[in-house]
Amino acid sequence: MMSERISFYDQIRNNKIKSVLLISLIIIVFFILGYFVSYAFTPDYFFIIMILSIIISIFYVVIGYYKSDKIALASVNAKPALRSEYSQYYHIVEGLTIASGIPMPKLYVMNNEQINAFATGRDPKNSIICVTTGALKNLNKQELEGVLAHELSHIANYDIRFMTLTAVLVGMIAIIAELFLRSFWFRGSSDRDNKGNMILILIGIVFAILAPIVVRLIQLAISRKREYVADASGVKFTRYPKGLADALRKIEKDHPTENKKINKAVAPLFISDPFKRKIQGLFSTHPPLTERIRILERM
């Protein structure tokens, strides 16, 4: 019996909804943690912790946000792609920008035999796409088009901005939890302790320990959902799911030999984990390639 076909429109919508629901969970964790902090300490102290965490988290993440393209390119030693040398690369991306209605990104190439690619930049007007020499060498035109459409989808969907917001919230929760736990060793007695509410405070301590782990797992789940969105959006641009599916099959069979040249910090940007780590599921930034291929085959 033939499997029911999947609409890429439904796939895009459903995974975007799931992304929003997941980031809403992070916000809920943020407020619950804030409640325990305000309960255990005075309101003034709570606001000090909140302000410190917001400043530190935003300062750290925003610098990375505005410099994300330069950081990523430098970390993989990527070079600008010359039109005279990579004419097909340019022609494919130009065609996709017309289909997607977004500005032409800057194109780069990194010298690596892996089949891989990534996109970054804070918005469509300040974006880049980088592909490996292995991708340009081993993918045919339809497969390369599928990969580039996937990367262009990350730009069109403002995924860097979305993941930056997620990183800010996750960072704030980690900082608040750390300050909360450290402050307990220095706090004095309070009226609430005298009322016998230490059980609730102990629950708050446990929550503060678990919260950074939980939101990190949610962050990874959001990253996986954005990959599904980019796959479906790429099909929307090309109307040819087989191209990306075939490219992912080649990536699945590809055995990296040069992954030491890639900084682990930028690995989540790639279309596939360049380290081919065996850890999957909750702790992975990317969905399993087999699952992505299965969905694309049903579109």
Question: pLDDT tens for residues 236-250?
Answer: 999 999 999 999 999
Please state the separation of Cα 104 from the chain's center in Å: 22
In a domain, 253, yes or no: no
Residue 39 and residue 204 in contact, taking contact as beta carbons nearer than 8 Å? yes
DSSP classification of residue 107: E
Buried b (16+ CB within 10 A) or exposed e, 106-140: ebbbbebbbbbbbbbbbebebbbbbbbebbbebbe
In a domain, 291, yes or no: yes
How many domains does the structure of the chain reveal? 1
Parent domain of 55: 8-65+161-242+274-297
Q: Can you list the alpha helix ranges (DSSP code H) found in 67-158?
A: 68-75, 87-100, 133-138, 141-156
Q: How does pLDDT run across 21-58, given as a tens digit for each residue?
A: 999 999 899 888 888 877 777 666 667 777 777 777 77
Above 70 in pLDDT, residue 272? yes
In a domain, 18, yes or no: yes
In a domain, 235, yes or no: yes
* Weakest mean pLDDT among 50-64, 182-196, 216-230: 182-196
In a domain, 145, yes or no: no
Q: 3-state DSSP call for residue 104?
A: coil
Element (H, E) at 211: helix 198-238
Element (H, E) at 205: helix 198-238
Catalytic residues: 151
In a domain, 211, yes or no: yes
* Weakest mean pLDDT among 59-68, 139-148, 220-229, 289-298: 59-68
Q: Give CA–CA dist 10/1, Å, rounded.
A: 22
